[in-house]
Amino acid sequence: MSRTTTRALGVLSRLAGMAATLLVTSFLVFSSLYLAPGDPASFLVRGRSAGPDELAQIRHRYGFDEPFFVRYWDWLGGVLHGDFGRSYVFHQDVGSVIWSRLPSTLLLIAASALLIAVVGVAAGIVGALRRGTRTDSMLMLLVTVGAAAPAFVAALLLRSLFGVKLGWFPTIGNGTGVLDRLHHVVLPAIALSVTFMAMVTRVTRSSMLEELGREHVEVAVSRGTPRWTVIRRHVLRNALGPIVTVSALLISGMLVSTSIVETAFGMSGVGSLLVTSVNQMDFQVVQAIVLLVVAAFVVVNFLVDLVHPLIDPRVAAAGSAR
């Protein structure tokens, strides 16, 4: 079999694995509704006054009078077409409720991802190159505290200091217009990044240290390759695999943490929507967001799996040998 065929088969089998994971996920999320005690229809209208007619209407509309698996199949079909049902609170399609809040959450995530990648990796490189020095010890201390500083603590401190005390940044809301939005997103992005930055720093440092000790690095040095070329092309380049893998695993935690950060900073977005929807018992929205977060995690990790052979050609070799 040619190498491209084996590669294609590998991608296909991973694709099938991802589809299976997503299927199980959707089933779990869907059936969680049925875990609630009592009648699912009355569960959906909790906290709202609904007469028997209305309940019967809901039962019919949501197909509760149909068998479970038929109902699941319909729902899944809807989800695949972007139809997540209807929100009770907003009287809108769940899809459009989420869609309208997605841009601000994506901005927050993009800003944090940038911070995490740049600062986290840079700090890890510095730590590895200055191993054992005071700089390294300080960094490791920051990493230890940072990894234990949840977003709500970081948000609290950043708001108090840079928002309230110094007045450099707004403390609440999303802002309007490009610049104002960016101004509003600075503190939330930092608050969201702290924990993940610490983790990326740690994995970068240890991965770099492992590569620094390798003989091919010594060979490169012995050939008079300039220090930064060695670090870039031989140490960091080879350390990239673990850094990318770990970063991809952090995605889901980061997506959930947007709910903390958006709530703390009074921002409108998908994260805060999740919290308000739980509070307002808007179950359809909660279900959709949970599904989206898990799907995002699964897809991102699938993509990382796909690009891994580019980062480390040995992976491709091991894959085709199997």
Positions 231 through 260 that interact with another protein (CB under 8 A): 231, 233-235, 237-238, 252-253, 255-257, 259-260
Between 36 and 306, whose beta carbon lies closer to another protein?
36
Tallying the residues shown for the chain, one arrives at 322
* Closest distance of CB 132 from another protein, Å: 4
DSSP run (H or E) holding 38? none
Can you spell out the DSSP letters for 252-297? HHHHHHHHHHHHHTT--SHHHHHHHHHHTT-HHHHHHHHHHHHHHH
Contacts of 181 (CB under 8 A, 6+ apart): 104, 107, 174, 175
Residue 91 interacting with another protein (CB under 8 A): no
Residue 48 interacting with another protein (CB under 8 A): no
Interacting positions 301-320 with another protein (CB under 8 A): 311-314, 317
Between 117 and 281, whose beta carbon lies closer to another protein?
281
* Closest distance of CB 75 from another protein, Å: 16
Report phi then psi at 89, rounded to 5.
-80, -45
Residue 112 interacting with another protein (CB under 8 A): no
Q: Which two tokens stand for residue 91?
A: 């009287």
Residue 3 interacting with another protein (CB under 8 A): no
Q: How many CB atoms lie within 10 A of CB 47?
A: 10
Task: Look at residue 109 and give its three-state secondary structure.
Answer: helix
Q: Build a one-symbol-per-residue string for 136-175: x at contacts with another protein by CB under 8 A, - elsewhere.
A: -x------xx-xxxxxxx--xx-xx---xx-----xx---
| Residue from 51, 52, 67, 132 binding another protein (CB under 8 A) | 132
Interacting positions 176-205 with another protein (CB under 8 A): none
